[in-house]
Amino acid sequence: MHSASTPRFRFAPSPTGALHIGGARTALYNWLAARGSGGTMALRIEDTDLERSTPGNVAQIIEALTWLELDWDGAPVSQRERRDRHAEALKRLIDDGAAYPDPSSAEDVWAWKEAHGGAAYRGESRAEEGAAIRLRVPDEGATVVDDLIRGPVSFPNQALDDFVIARGDGTPLYNLAVAVDDLEMGVTDVVRGDDHLSNTPKQLLMIAALGAQPPRYAHLPLLHGPDGGKLSKRHGAASVQELRDKGYLPAAVRNYLALLGWGAEDDATVMSTDELTARFSIDRVGRAAAIFDEQKLRWLNGRHLRALDPAEYEPRLRAYLEVADPDAADRFAAAGADERRAACEIVREKAQTLGEAWRLVAFLFGEVAYDEKAWGKVMRKGAVPSLRAALEALGGLQSWDALAIEAALTPLPEALDLKPGAVYQPIRVAVTGSSVSPGIFDTLAALGKEAALSRIEAALARLVA
Partner RNA sequence: GCCGCUAUCGUCUAGGGGACUAGGACGCCGGAUUCUCAGUCCGGAAACCGGGGUUCGAAUCCCCGUAGCGGUGCCA
Scan residues 423-462 and list those touching RNA (CB under 7 A).
424-425, 428, 435-442
- CA 302 vs. chain centroid, Å, equals 16
Q: Please say if 373 is a catalytic residue.
A: no
Contacting residue, 92, 196, 331, 388, with RNA by CB under 7 A: 196
Under 8 Å between Cβ of 259 and 299: no
> Among the candidate windows 62-70, 233-241, 345-353, 388-396, which touches RNA by CB under 7 A?
345-353
What residues numbered 293-332 form the site for RNA, per CB under 7 A?
293, 295-296, 298-299, 302-303, 306
**Which is nearer to RNA, 287 or 462 (by Cβ)?**
287
Is 262 a binding residue for RNA by CB under 7 A? The answer is yes
Q: Which of 66, 105, 232, 454 binds RNA (CB under 7 A)?
A: 105
234 binds RNA per the rule CB under 7 A: no
Put residue 67 in one of left, alpha, beta given phi > 0 → left and psi -120 to 50 → alpha: alpha
> Which part of the chain contacts RNA (CB under 7 A), choosing from 88-96, 128-136, 387-395, 448-456?
128-136
User: Residue 101: beta bridge partners?
Assistant: 133
Q: Which is nearer to RNA, 91 or 296 (CB)?
A: 296
Q: How far is the CB of 121 from RNA (least distance, A)?
A: 7
Strand partners, 134: 100, 164
Question: Could you say which of 63, 146, 194, 245 contacts RNA (CB under 7 A)?
Answer: 194
Candidates 74, 138, 211, 229: give the one binding RNA (CB under 7 A). 229
How many other C-beta atoms can be found within 10 angstroms of the C-beta atom of residue 390? 27
- Tell me if 68 contacts RNA by CB under 7 A: no
Nearest approach in angstroms of CB 4 to RNA is 27
- List binders of RNA among 374-413 (CB under 7 A): none
Q: Parallel, antiparallel, or unpaired: how do β-strands 189-193 and 142-147 relate?
A: unpaired
Residues marked active site are found at 233
